[in-house]
A and B are shown apart, each in its own frame.
Chain A
Amino acid sequence: MGAIDVSEIQTFVHDVVVIGAGGAGLRAAVAAAEEGLDVGVVCKSLLGKAHTVMAEGGAAAALGNADPRDNWKIHFRDTMRGGKFLNQWRMAELHAQQAPDRIRELEAWGAVFDRTADGRINQRNFGGHRYPRLAHVGDRTGLEMIRTLQDKAVHTAGVAVHMECTALRLLLDKGRVAGILAYWRDSGRFVLFKCKAVIMATGGFGRAWRVTSNSWEYTGDGQAMAYEAGAELMDVEFTQFHPTGMVWPPSVAGVLVTEGVRGEGGILTNNRGERFMFNYIPEKFAKETADTVEEGERWLDGDKTARRPPELLTRDVVARAIAAEVAAGRGSPHGGAFLDIASRRPAEVIKKKLPSMYHQFKELAEVDITKEAMEVGPTLHYAMGGIRVDHDTQMTRVPGLFAAGECGAGLHGANRLGGNSLSDLLVFGRLAGLGAASYIATVGDLEVSSDDVVAGIRKATAPLNRESGPNPYVVHDGLRDVMGRHVNIWRTREGLEKGLVEIARLQGVVGTVKAHGTSQFNPAWSEALDLPNLLLCAEMVARGALLREESRGAHSREDFQGERDEWGSRNIVIRKGADGAMETEVLERTAGPDGLAGIANASLEDLEGNRG
């Protein structure tokens, strides 16, 4: 390649660039624009296709519409307990307090949630939430949310959306964010965005696994760009396996089956017809969980004195239980468990409350869920960990770099409660937009280094320019094998060490891959460019998992079963060391502020009816 003239590259100037157009990115963009900023949203896909559309069950917020006993303190308590107390106290507090306003605001922007009898936003039950708390629209809440935010964003002055544009690297000026380098997917041309702040809202990295609910976009781009720019990551070892993904046919293995099925009364059984979840109730939740089928049935019938059935325990517990039943030979024909809603609710209720599940099974698996049970098993769904941020502003330790949503860390700790992701996007998306606005007010002129831009372009075009090399799809498939074998739901020291060796080997190979064809809308080239990000995230997960010698939340070690007290007060932080190698640090947590710790450990009776 000849000399690159940076001045000839198409350039946009914005105050802030948001990378990612899912719920967090769009909410951040609206918040920043409403503060008077010029905002550019850069996203890999078309607008409205981000992974948020896949969210089904609902958005958790203590509105108290469906059960007036609910309030933010109980939501906070549920979130901390669900996260096994590794959540950042302040973030869990902000989230629980602000989620109701964010949901009401979404309604004022056009979202049409399901209603209560008196016309307010209805709420449904979900795992780990004490009360029906999820504002929802049947089982397509994510679609409702993304469409609402999309409409809001395109009609908000100051927001420009750059679709099908992939960010490649952050550009810094003396350590501060000054822009990004990206390329248009349709033409393959490079584009420069100059700005004073970047908000990462790029979602997770589930594509490292074969059985996952995540779309092709989920390659950890934001995490990797932030890491390379000097930001820290935290809690990355906690990867959520959603207990109910489809298991058959193979082509759809991993596709999500909403927790709403269980929220609406669905039960899990093994091949002997046993409701096995009664055998997997953890000590910590025993007091608040029904211990007989009879009590579970009364709860379903609306008896408020009955405790919740164990199918609604947190996702980590249910996923491990299903895996254990399958391992013990009690699985369904295709290696999962049976999820039965057909015998629990009339067909018309199922079609009304779970319409997309009905269609998904009918069209992809030829199963009528109003007549027969579904087969389900764990699927990699969500990254609890991610980019470490300031709790109130969402800024990383790199000045001008912010993160919100799944690519950020802190709210969910060791395990995320279902429904807390959609409210996370809204609460922290907005705070990141506001954080960026107040940061920008303090920043003077910045410059982008031409050398950085040229280096970025040379690196990106290398897979196209190489004469020959391995096929990037094959390398990706190799990574999925490694993660499935060594960094899966159950982990061991030996497996993780082998996994790290394999990941390192693939990191070597990925620098030699060849993308055939031109740069125009070339999926092989995107694959070649996304893969290093995915491999970096895979390495972070394995390193964190190796270090954490206990089983907590979504992280399960066969060789260190059960929670260990000493690890209950530690978060693992990962960063790029001065020598360029990955560095881990075990961070001792500070005790929670008195008020919050008190709430997290309070009895429910103390918190109910307390709407402070």
Chain B
Amino acid sequence: MAERVLRAWRGDRSGGRFEDYTVEADPGMVVLDLVHRAQAGPAPDLACRWNCKAGKCGSCSMEINGRPRLACMTRVGDFAPDEPIVVQPLKAFPIIRDLVTDVRWNYQQNKRIAPFTPGPAPADGNYRMSQTDVDRVQEFRKCIECFLCQDTCHVIRDHDKKADFVGPRFMIRLASLDMHPLDTVDRIPAVRDSYGSGYCNITRCCTEVCPEHIGITDNAIIPLKERVVSRFYDPIAMAIRAFFGTKSEPGKRPMAAPQTKVP
């Protein structure tokens, strides 16, 4: 078995430094395995979040050799044999200890977004939506809240505009609500005014780091920006809305229940 060097950032808000740990690496191992090996040996108190170890919960987000990634889905074999594996905490959030950061800000953003609010259910109790209409919503709901997109977004990471922009993760949350066939709330004014859609200048860094391969920029943020533009800056669309209201906009098309009774 090969030996690998795990170079882990150790410290807290007051400061810290990188420490090297030499650990055994078996074939097929991921970076999280190296962290666990270090914990079981030379660094028992190395702080690191993790849960599922299968890319499904989004807990073990960190920066690995300079890139925001999930430690459980990053294979050690992807790095050259003599290259140290460098792990450090997400840069966009305050450090708690070692590889663990304070991500509570993200949870506060979710709380600010008006929740899903469907219209009344049909008489038989079964809402109806076609699969094609929910496909695009389901893409956004694949999000595992690893916050790697939040970490890489330069509005948050470099400019610290946390008070002005909710970040890519919550832009897709907003898109999933906006495109949900059953939802009745109009969040478009808030997308511009409260959630800061104008801050994103479409560099697609968030899309690149998404472990779920969600088309964050193209499928969520750009359509939301277009909705904002047509709402506030397109005179023809504004005139149509004056007559028909905002509810008739695309993306709000629940299927009607069939007239015949379901057997």
Determine if B47 is an interface residue (Cβ-Cβ < 8 Å): yes
In B232-263, the 8 Å CB interface with A consists of 255, 258, 262-263
Residue of B nearest to A52 (CB): B57
Which chain A residues lie closer than 8 Å to B138 at the CB level? Answer: 112, 114, 137-138
Please determine whether B180 and A115 come into contact, CB atoms closer than 8 angstroms: no
Q: Could you say which residues of chain A place their CB within 8 Å of the CB of B50?
A: 215-216
Q: Is the CB of B144 within 8 A of A120?
A: no
Which of B40, B115, B118 contacts A152 (CB under 8 A)?
B115
Tell whether, in the assembled complex, residue B115 and residue A110 are in contact, meaning their CB atoms are under 8 Å apart.
yes
Contact B131 A151 (CB under 8 A): no
B45 touches A186 (CB 8 A): no
The 8 A CB mask of A303-341 against B (1 = contact, 0 = none) is 000000000000000000000000000000000000000
B54 at the interface (CB under 8 A from A): yes
**A584 adjacent to chain B (CB < 8 Å):** no
Q: A137-B141, A473-B44, A474-B40 known; A114 and B131 CB under 8 Å?
A: yes
> Chain B: which residue is nearest A477 at the CB level?
B40
Q: Is the pair A112, B137 in contact by a Cβ cutoff of 8 Å?
A: yes
Q: Which residue of B lies closest to A249 (CB)?
A: B28
> CB distance B58 to A516 under 8 Å?
no
Residues in A whose Cβ lies below 8 Å from that of B104:
163
Residues of A within 8 A of B127 (CB): 104, 107-108, 119-120
Cα separation A3 to B109 with both chains bound (whole Å): 41
Given A108-B118, A524-B44: A363 and B128 interface contact (C-beta under 8 Å): no
For chain A, residues 330 to 369, give those with C-beta under 8 angstroms from any C-beta of chain B.
Answer: 355-356, 359-360, 363-365
A515 touches B51 (CB 8 A): no
Partner of A151, one of B26, B52, B116, B263: B116
Question: Across the A-B interface, how many residue pairs have beta carbons closer than 8 Å?
Answer: 180
**When the two chains form the complex, which single residue of A45, A108, A249 contacts B59, counting CB atoms closer than 8 Å?**
A45
Q: Which of A172-180, A251-259, A380-388 contacts B (4 or more CB under 8 A)?
A: A251-259
Roughly how many angstroms separate A265 CA and B107 CA in the complex, as a whole number? 39
CB-contact partner of A53 in B44, B57, B102, B130, under 8 A: B57
Q: Which residues of A contact B26 (CB under 8 A)?
A: 249-251
Does B203 belong to the interface (CB within 8 Å)? no
The residues of A that contact B98 with a CB separation of less than 8 Å are 521
> Does residue B220 face the partner (Cβ distance < 8 Å to A)?
no
B57-100 residues at the A interface, CB under 8 angstroms: 57-59, 73, 75, 96-98, 100
Mask: chain A, 216-260; 1 = CB below 8 Å from B; 0 = not:
110000000000000000000000000000001111100110000
A115 to B263, Cβ gap below 8 A?
no
| Known A119-B128, A121-B126: A516·B45 in contact at CB below 8 Å | yes
CB-defined contacts of B103 to chain A, threshold 8 Å: 46
Contact call B28/A186, Cβ cutoff below 8 A: no
Complex-state Cα separation, A119 to B118, whole angstroms: 16
Knowing A110-B180, A251-B33, A364-B73 are in contact, say whether A51-B116 is a contact too (CB < 8 A).
no
Interface centre among A152, A249, A251, A364 (most CB of B within 10 A): A251
Expressed in whole angstroms, the Cα–Cα distance for A215 and B59 within the complex equals 11
Nearest A residue (CB) for B128: A119
Cβ-neighbour of A45 out of B49, B55, B118, B142 (below 8 A): B49
Distance between Cα atoms of A359 and B55 in the complex (Å): 9
Complex Cα distance, B44 from A65, in Å, reads 52
Known: A49-B58, A110-B180. A363 touches B53 (CB 8 A): no
The answer to whether A517 has its CB under 8 Å from any CB of chain B is: yes
Task: Identify the closest chain A residue to B39 (Cβ).
Answer: A523
Q: Which residues of B have CB within 8 Å of A108?
A: 118, 121, 127
CB-based contact B30/A251 at 8 Å: yes
B56 touches A522 (CB 8 A): no
Q: Is A449 an interface residue (CB 8 A)?
A: no
Interface centre among B39, B75, B126 (most CB of A within 10 A): B126
B128: A residues at CB distance < 8 A = 118-120
Q: Nearest Cβ in chain B — how far from A481, in angstroms? A: 14
Segment of A23-31, A139-147, A532-540 in the binding face:
A139-147
Q: Is the CB of A186 within 8 A of B29?
A: no
Q: In the complex, are the beta carbons of B129 and A119 less than 8 A apart?
A: yes
A54 interface residue per 8 A CB criterion: yes
Chain B residue at minimum C-beta to C-beta distance from A121: B126
Docked CA distance A449–B115 (Å) = 41
B111 within 8 A of partner (CB)? yes
B15 in the interface (beta carbon within 8 A): no
Complex-state Cα separation, A142 to B145, whole angstroms = 14
CB proximity of A453 to chain B, nearest CB, Å: 26
Asked if A48 lies at the interface with its beta carbon under 8 angstroms from chain B, I say yes
A468 interface residue, CB < 8 Å from B? no
Cβ distance B258 to chain A, nearest Cβ, rounded Å: 7
| B190 interfacial contact with A, CB 8 Å | no
A451 and B116 alpha carbons, distance in the complex (Å)? 46
Give the residues from 37 to 64 in chain A that come closer than 8 angstroms, CB to CB, to chain B. Answer: 45-51, 53-54, 63
Question: In the complex, which residues of chain A have a beta carbon less than 8 angstroms from the beta carbon of B51?
Answer: 45, 49-51, 53, 215-217
The residues of B that contact A215 with a CB separation of less than 8 Å are 50-53, 57
Say whether A520 faces chain B, with CB atoms less than 8 Å apart.
yes
Query: Is A285 part of the binding interface, using a Cβ–Cβ cutoff of 8 Å?
Result: no
The listed residue (A118, A119, A250, A520) touching B28 by CB distance below 8 A is A250
Minimum Cβ distance to chain B for residue A451 (Å): 30
CB contact under 8 A between A140 and B130, given known A108-B118, A109-B116, A360-B55:
no
Flag if A521 contacts B28 (CB, 8 Å).
no
Within 8 Å by CB of B44, from A49, A216, A217, A471, lies A471
Q: Which residues does chain B contribute within 8 Å of A471, judged by CB atoms?
A: 40, 44
Q: Check A154/B111 contact, CB under 8 A, given A53-B56, A251-B28, A364-B30.
A: yes
Ordered by A's residue number, 28 sampled pairs between the chains whose C-beta atoms are within 8 Å are: A46-B59, A65-B126, A104-B127, A109-B116, A110-B118, A110-B180, A112-B134, A115-B130, A119-B129, A119-B130, A119-B255, A137-B138, A138-B138, A144-B141, A151-B115, A155-B111, A163-B107, A216-B50, A248-B28, A356-B55, A356-B56, A359-B55, A471-B40, A471-B44, A515-B45, A520-B97, A521-B98, A524-B39
- Report, nearest first, the 6 A-B pairs whose CB atoms are least far apart: A249-B28, A517-B45, A119-B128, A110-B116, A524-B44, A521-B47
Known: A54-B57, A474-B40. 4 other contacts (CB 8 A): A46-B49, A115-B134, A365-B28, A521-B96
Residues of A within 8 A of B (CB): 45-51, 53-54, 63, 65, 68, 104, 107-110, 112, 114-115, 118-122, 137-138, 140, 142-144, 147, 151-152, 154-155, 163, 186, 215-217, 248-252, 255-256, 355-356, 359-360, 363-365, 471-474, 477, 515-518, 520-525
